[in-house]
């Protein structure tokens, strides 16, 4: 068994490395702490496999106001953008990067970690699941990518994200829903539990529409 496989159950710290420091607060005007550097905001690119696809406007506006006032206090975790010199791919912190753009910052603090694609995706899933930032469909899609593209089992996923195997299995079941029903879940009009009850229903789309406050 590889070191990384043995480390799966230890969560984010295992993926970042045993000696990785927790992100530190950065003084927006002072020198960057050890291990932190400043990068032009346009040199950062989002990860196309980022599990989180939806960023609530209200939350983003609030973060933008905070960053405009105090700057980006927590460094953005990045890796070298594959095939592009001088460009950084965001591993964790896309919301901060988006808000920093809206606040018209020209530079942001970054911490560089060299990770492969599976490690990047796992960090993205862990960060968002632990913070409850993913809607159930985003979570299900992220689990599916880890299984289909990278060969992760449900047991391994459960260890990575700190959830039970049954939670992982039940979340993956949401992918059996018709697309129209999935949209109700994404919008928050239908809970994951209610949605799962519709998986075998022949009129799932009609029932979901009735349950939704939007109709």
CA 71, 69, 129, 25 torsion-angle sign:
positive
Q: Which residue has the higher pLDDT, 34 or 99?
A: 99
Average pLDDT rounded to a whole number, residues 66-75: 92
At the topology level of CATH, where does 117-211 sit? Arc Repressor Mutant, subunit A (1.10.10)
In the chain, CATH 1.10.10.2830 covers: 117-211
The DSSP bridge partners found for residue 44 are 88
User: Rounded mean pLDDT of the chain?
Assistant: 82
Tell me which residue of 158, 201, 146, 206 sits closest to 176, measured CA to CA. 201
Residue 178 has pLDDT above 60, yes or no: yes
Joined tokens for residue 19: 């000696």
Q: Which residues neighbour 140 within 8 Å (Cβ) at sequence distance 6 or greater?
A: 171, 172, 174, 175
**Among this protein's residues, is 138 annotated catalytic?**
no
Query: Domain 21-112 is in which class?
Result: alpha beta
The torsion of the CA quartet 139, 144, 146, 148, rounded to 10 degrees, works out to: -170
Q: What is the pLDDT of residues 117-136, one digit of tens each?
A: 888 888 877 777 776 678 89
H helices of the chain, where? 3-7, 12-16, 57-70, 94-102, 117-130, 136-148, 154-161, 165-173, 179-187, 192-196, 204-211
In the chain, CATH 3.90.1530.10 covers: 21-112
**Do residues 52 and 141 touch, judged by C-beta distance below 8 A?**
no
Residue 5 has pLDDT above 50, yes or no: no
Confidence grade of residue 19 (pLDDT, cut at 50, 70, 90): very low
**Cβ atoms within 10 A of the Cβ of 58, count?**
7
Q: What is the pLDDT of residue 155?
A: 94
Q: What is the pLDDT of residue 12?
A: 47
One of 3, 42, 62, 94 is an active-site residue; which one? Answer: 94
Q: What is the pLDDT of residue 85?
A: 84
């Amino acid at each position: 068994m590889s070191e990384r496989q043995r480390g799966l159950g230890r969560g984010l710290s295992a993926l970042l490395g045993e000696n990785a420091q927790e992100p530190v607060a950065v003084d927006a005007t002072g020198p960057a702490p050890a291990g932190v550097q400043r990068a032009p905001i346009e040199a950062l690119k989002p990860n196309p496999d980022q599990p989180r696809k939806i960023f609530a406007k209200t939350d983003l506006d609030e973060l933008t106001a905070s960053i405009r006032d105090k700057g980006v206090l927590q460094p953005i975790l990045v890796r070298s953008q594959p095939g592009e010199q001088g460009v950084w791919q965001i591993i964790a912190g896309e919301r901060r990067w988006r808000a920093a753009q809206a606040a018209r910052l020209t530079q942001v603090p970054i911490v560089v970690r060299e990770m492969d694609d599976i490690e990047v995706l796992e960090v993205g899933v862990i960060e968002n699941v632990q913070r409850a930032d993913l809607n159930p469909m985003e979570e299900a899609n992220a689990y599916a990518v880890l299984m289909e593209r990278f060969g992760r089992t449900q047991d391994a996923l459960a260890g990575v994200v700190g959830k039970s195997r049954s939670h992982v299995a039940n979340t993956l079941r949401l992918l059996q829903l018709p697309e129209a029903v999935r949209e109700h879940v994404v919008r928050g009009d239908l809970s994951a539990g209610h949605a799962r009850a519709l998986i075998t229903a022949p009129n799932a789309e009609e029932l979901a529409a009735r349950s939704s406050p939007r109709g």
